[in-house]
Amino acid sequence: MSIFEDNQKRLKEIQALEGISDQEMSVFSAPVKSNYAELEINGRKYPSWRIVFNEALGPGKGGIRFHPDVSEDEVRALAFWMALKNSLADIPYGGAKGGVKFDPKAADKKELEEVSRQYIGKFHQYLGQDKDVPAPDVYTNGQIMSWMLDEFEKREGRHEPGMITGKPVELGGISMRGDATAQGGYLITKELIKNFLSDRQDIKIVVQGFGNAGLFMTEKLANDGYKIIGVSDSRGGVYNADGLNIKELIALKNGGGAVNEYKGGQSVSNAELLELKTDILILAALENQITKDNAANIKADYLVELANGPVNYEAEQILAGAGKIVVPDILANSGGVITSYFEWAQNRTGQILDEDYLRQLLDKKMKSGWSRVYGKYQEKPGAITLRQAAYIIAVKRILAAEKARGRI
């Protein structure tokens, strides 16, 4: 089943729970804009996409990923999730996403820059601070955003730093963007612990995905004294029932090593890591990590989706039936896009706000998001999941905007 079809099944549940009409739900059946182009570098062609799913609340907003497995279905699903995420976060954006079917790990810096600039060359007419605002995603970063901004401004003949976020500070970015997704996920996990685990300290945590977001979030939780018993990256994982030394693991990773090289624990595969006995499993890798094939083997009582779509629809049915709690991606990983909103707002106004103030604002918005979702969940205890609660809030805000515009 495609990722997008998976999403449509979840929407059918929301429609039934809330009595939403077919006409209203048609808003979520297809993107409002879908653009495709082929990039050509050194005789090789790379399919690329930029999709805006909905823009009732504001311009499109969502990252651009470089990955050899990117597909139109994936980009469309990610754009859908961004629409819901931005709605749930109560920020003035629609949802969008971009991707290039390309392996940046096999490219040198020159080729990476060429792909970045060609992408903007193909899509610049659809982008802009009031149209559609990209950001970093899987295997893209501040340098790539810088090349993209420069190419956009060359082609458009004007400065417009607000057309893209996740930039270096020198080009109008904000320094807190680097760990914003992790900080948001950390705050949500702390709220989960407070509301479901009575602020226990003897909590064991496993983290799948030790890239930027997963690494920073692991570090924050370890600093709070929680026992991190397993972590993994794309090459495998490591496990120690007594807890891992996260400072040593981070030093290894930052030095170019893989976590399964760490000598302070037992080497495990990614599949084995997911099935470890733990209190909380943080999913910070890619989509479709937990499916009907392994859902019944998941021993964690609580799962936090720091990545987009790591638990598919069929898996969540199994997890819910087993009494597992899943904190949905559109809540748990929204810290990145909220901080992108801060950057975009500063770029548009020219006003530079103090980082301490922005961190407090991020803290407030993440906790407010949790409060709304948890409050909705408690209205029907046992009858709906946290994801359904989040989807209800997000869908209704988009529909209210569509109605106000007279579209439905």
Mean pLDDT of the residues in the chain: 95
Cα 174 from Cα 187, distance rounded (Å): 20
Report which of 4, 6, 60, 19 is spatially closest to residue 312, judged by C-alpha positions. 6
pLDDT higher than threshold 90 for residue 212: no
CATH code of domain 29-173: 3.40.50.10860
User: Which member of 97, 204, 253, 365 is catalytic?
Assistant: 97
Please name the amino acid found at residue 324. Answer: K
Answer for the pair 385, 378: CB distance below 8 angstroms, yes or no. no
Under a CB-based contact definition with an 8 Å cutoff, are residues 347 and 172 in contact?
Answer: yes
Determine phi and psi for 366, rounding to 5 degrees. -65, -45
pLDDT at position 199: 82
Domain ranges of the chain: 29-173, 180-332
Task: Give the rounded percent of residues in the chain with a pLDDT score beyond 70.
Answer: 100
Quick one: pLDDT at residue 382?
Answer: 77
Give the residue-averaged pLDDT of 48-63: 98
Structure tokens at 132: 């559609």
Model confidence band, residue 333 (pLDDT cutoffs 50, 70, 90): very high
**In terms of CATH architecture, what is 180-332?**
3-Layer(aba) Sandwich (3.40)
Instruction: Using CB atoms within 10 Å of the CB of residue 38, give its burial: 0 to 12 exposed, 13 to 18 middle, 19+ buried.
Output: exposed
pTM of the model: 0.94
Position 397 pLDDT exceeds 80: yes
Contact 227, 277 (CB under 8 A): no
Task: Average the pLDDT over 354-368 and give the result.
Answer: 96
Residue 254 neighbours by CB under 8 Å, 6+ apart = none
Q: What is the pLDDT of residue 234?
A: 87
Quick one: average pLDDT of 329-344? 96
Give pLDDT, residue 287. Answer: 85
Distance CA 192, CA 182 (A): 15
Average pLDDT over residues 162-174: 97
Contacts of 373 (CB under 8 A, 6+ apart): 88, 331, 386, 389, 390, 393
Nearest-5° angle of CA 243, CA 247, CA 249? 75
Is the predicted pLDDT of residue 252 greater than 80, yes or no?
yes
Q: How far apart are CA 279 and CA 267, in angstroms?
A: 20
pLDDT band at residue 225 under the 50/70/90 scheme: very high
176: pLDDT strictly greater than 70? yes
DSSP run (H or E) holding 134: none
The answer to whether residue 45 is catalytic is no
Q: Are 116 and 151 in contact (CB under 8 A)?
A: yes
How many helices (H) and strands (E) the chain has is answered by 14, 13
Using pLDDT thresholds of 50, 70 and 90, give the confidence band for residue 1.
low
Query: What average pLDDT does the segment 83-93 reach?
Result: 97
Residues constituting the chain: 408
The pLDDT score that the predictor gives to residue 4 is: 82
Structure tokens at 242: 């007594």
What percentage of residues in the chain have a pLDDT greater than 90?
90
Q: Is the pLDDT of residue 354 over 70?
A: yes
